[in-house]
């Protein structure tokens, strides 16, 4: 009993010291956790990484510059004599949103042969410029790889955003569990402390009566046992409080022994909106639903690409160019220019189509799976909302009932104490009523905290919880 008194005195001294124990609400605790929790930072970096996928896809339509240069000494295929050659070439190509390609190229060749023939320039200088355009008529028409790639990239970013929100919600649930567990322990500790004070008063009264011969030994033993039981309860609750305080401090990134007092709202406001409105809000917020919608988009994009891959390749290729040949020749020097143009149809068809057919089937199954999971998640959200609203109504009724029970137990105990002083009640009756009040207050705090937790769970489900929590912009 002395140990309990010392522990309780130390706890009260710690929590009452100016500046030692700060009041802490759930919102403040959650905000501190969000500011330092590493998994949020990882999820945010994953989101930034996913956003780069769109940049990579958009770059497919960028210009590509190519260049080449070289010299060689070889036997000329025209004259059969040794020749020195120098070449210089460059090209500029880009893909088009329509699926085609556009390119321009230029080249310059210098050739010097050890033997020259009449009419052929030696050395010779050849310059050429070409413009080429390719348009797919079947496979690749409309550039599905590019367009569906953009859809997939945006969907990947949406998944990363949903993962960030999921991580945020999981941290909120973890914080909620620790905070309200600690709040319940704190309330139980205060209730047990009140029980110790009442047991001490009863023991003093019994001892006084014993000195006057108005109380028996059994009354004294019962009173002492009641005080020891309440003191043991305080010991256990102090140990539980220390453990929960340490866990919550660790989650908030504070020193393990940092002191705080959990603060609960005095009243839990009624839920705003009916089930249909809450369901609509939950659908708009749900990270799981957003992730599945993005997966449906990715599956749909993959299906479009797979279907395009089944088509035969039929491309229209057009080119136009101009060249100029100059050089020293006999009997006259050469300086000739001419133009070139071409039109081609290129066709290609895979004879074994099992691979592309299998890819289409897989994409269709991926889409079907994601759509079924999407509908299942919507049903889960609807049932969760219905269950939470029913639980909230039941919990509110239970809190009201427990308030009435506590009031009745207080009156019952007060009446028993008055009758005990006048000798019309025995010690065991007073102790029993003390315990009834203790457990009634305990049940009230349990129901009250359960009501608050369910309310926060509903706010988390509909996404409105984050409207009241100040977070860094990257975590919203």
CA distances from 376 to 227, 288, 473 (A): 55, 11, 32
pLDDT of 22: 86
Distance, CA of 256 to CA of 418 (rounded, Å):
46
Place of tokens 């999921």: 166
- Beta-ladder partners of 52: none
pLDDT of 271: 76
SS in 3 state form for the chain? CHHHHHHHHHHHHHHHCCCCEEEECHHHHHHHHHHHCHHHHHHHHHHHHHHHHHHHHHHHHCCEEEEEEEEEEEECCCCCCEEEEEEEEEEEEEECCCCCEEEEEEEEEEEEECCCCCCCCCCEEEEEEEEEEEEECCCCCCCHHHHHHHHHHHHHHHHHHHHHHHHHHHHHHHHHHHHHHHHHHHHHHHHHHHHHHHHHHHHHHHHHHHHCCCCCHHHHHHHHHHHHHHHHHHHHHHHHHHHHHHHHHHHHCCCCCCEEEECCCCCCCCCCCCHHHHHHHHHHHCHHHHHHHHHHHHHHHHHHHHHHHHCCEEEEEEEEEEEEEEECCCCCCEEEEEEEEEEEEEEECCCCCHHHHHHHHHHHHHHHHHHHHHHHHHHHHHHHHHHHHHHHHHHHHHHHHHHHHHHHHHHHHHHHHHHHHCCCCCHHHHHHHHHHHHHHHHHHHHHHHHHHHHHHHHHHHHCHHHHCCCCCHHHC
Rounded to two decimals, what is the model's pTM?
Answer: 0.79
Contact 420, 426 (CB under 8 A): yes
pLDDT of 4: 41
Q: Please return the burial class of 274, using the count of CB atoms within 10 Å of its CB with bins 0-12, 13-18 and 19+.
A: exposed
pLDDT of 318: 93
pLDDT of 6: 40
pLDDT of 431: 85
pLDDT of 8: 41
**Residue 105: which of 141, 53, 57, 68 has the closest Cα?**
68
pLDDT of 218: 76
- Beta-ladder partners of 67: 90
Distance, CA of 8 to CA of 18 (rounded, Å):
18
CA distances from 134 to 93, 204, 323 (A): 11, 102, 21
Along the 476 residues of the chain, how does pLDDT read in single tens digits?
A: 444 444 444 444 444 443 467 899 998 999 888 888 888 888 888 999 999 999 999 998 989 999 999 999 887 666 667 888 899 999 999 999 888 999 999 999 998 887 777 767 888 889 999 999 999 999 889 899 999 999 999 999 999 999 999 999 999 999 999 999 999 999 999 989 988 988 888 878 778 766 666 566 777 788 888 888 889 989 999 999 999 999 999 999 889 888 999 998 876 667 777 889 999 999 999 999 999 999 999 999 999 998 888 888 899 999 999 988 888 877 778 888 888 899 999 998 888 888 888 988 998 999 999 999 999 999 999 999 999 999 998 988 999 999 999 999 999 988 988 887 777 778 888 888 888 898 899 999 999 999 999 988 998 999 888 887 777 666 66
Residue 399: phi and psi, rounded to 5, are: -65, -45
User: And the tokens for 380?
Assistant: 């889960």
Distance, CA of 399 to CA of 209 (rounded, Å):
39
pLDDT of 268: 67
Residue 343: phi and psi, rounded to 5, are: -135, 130
pLDDT of 466: 85
């Amino acid at each position: 009993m002395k140990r309990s008194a010392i522990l309780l005195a130390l706890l009260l001294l710690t929590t009452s010291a100016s500046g030692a124990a700060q009041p802490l609400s759930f919102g403040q605790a959650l905000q501190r956790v969000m500011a330092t929790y590493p998994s949020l930072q990882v999820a945010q970096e994953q989101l930034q990484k996913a956003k780069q996928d769109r940049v990579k896809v958009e770059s497919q339509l960028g210009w590509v510059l190519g260049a080449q240069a070289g010299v060689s000494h070889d036997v000329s295929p025209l004259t059969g004599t040794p020749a020195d050659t120098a070449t210089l070439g460059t090209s500029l190509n880009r893909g088009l949103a329509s699926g085609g390609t556009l390119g321009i190229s230029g080249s310059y060749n210098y050739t010097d042969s050890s033997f020259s023939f009449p009419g052929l320039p030696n050395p010779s200088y050849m310059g050429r410029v070409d413009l080429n355009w390719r348009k797919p008529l079947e496979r690749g028409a409309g550039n599905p790889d590019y367009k569906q790639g953009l859809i997939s990239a945006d969907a990947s970013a949406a998944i990363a955003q949903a993962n960030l929100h999921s991580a945020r919600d999981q941290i909120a649930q973890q914080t909620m569990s620790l905070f309200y567990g600690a709040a319940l322990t704190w309330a139980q500790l205060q209730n047990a402390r009140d029980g110790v004070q009442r047991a001490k008063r009863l023991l003093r009264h019994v001892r006084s009566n014993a000195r006057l011969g108005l109380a028996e030994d059994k009354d004294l033993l019962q009173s002492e046992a009641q005080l020891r039981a309440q003191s043991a309860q305080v010991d256990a609750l102090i140990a539980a409080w220390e453990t929960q305080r340490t866990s919550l401090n660790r989650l908030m990134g504070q020193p393990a022994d940092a002191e705080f007092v959990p603060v609960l709202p005095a009243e839990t406001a009624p839920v705003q909106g009916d089930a249909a409105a809450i369901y609509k809000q939950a659908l708009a917020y749900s990270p799981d639903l957003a992730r599945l919608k993005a997966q449906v988009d990715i599956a749909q994009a993959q299906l479009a690409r797979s279907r395009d891959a089944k088509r035969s390749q039929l491309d229209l290729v057009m080119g136009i160019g101009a060249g100029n040949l100059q050089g020293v020749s006999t009997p006259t020097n050469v300086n000739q220019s001419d133009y070139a143009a071409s039109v081609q149809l290129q066709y290609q068809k895979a004879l074994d189509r099992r691979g592309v057919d299998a890819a289409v089937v897989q994409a269709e199954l991926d889409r079907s799976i994601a759509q079924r999971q999407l509908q299942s998640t919507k049903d889960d959200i609807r049932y969760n909302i219905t269950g939470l609203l029913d639980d909230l109504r039941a919990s509110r009724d239970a809190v009201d009932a427990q308030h009435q029970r506590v009031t009745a137990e207080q009156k019952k105990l007060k009446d028993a104490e008055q009758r005990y002083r006048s000798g019309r009640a025995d010690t065991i009756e007073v102790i029993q009523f003390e315990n009834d009040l203790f457990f009634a207050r305990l049940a009230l705090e349990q129901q009250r905290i359960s009501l608050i937790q369910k309310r926060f769970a509903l706010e988390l489900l509909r996404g409105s919880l984050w409207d009241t929590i100040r977070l860094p912009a990257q975590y919203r």
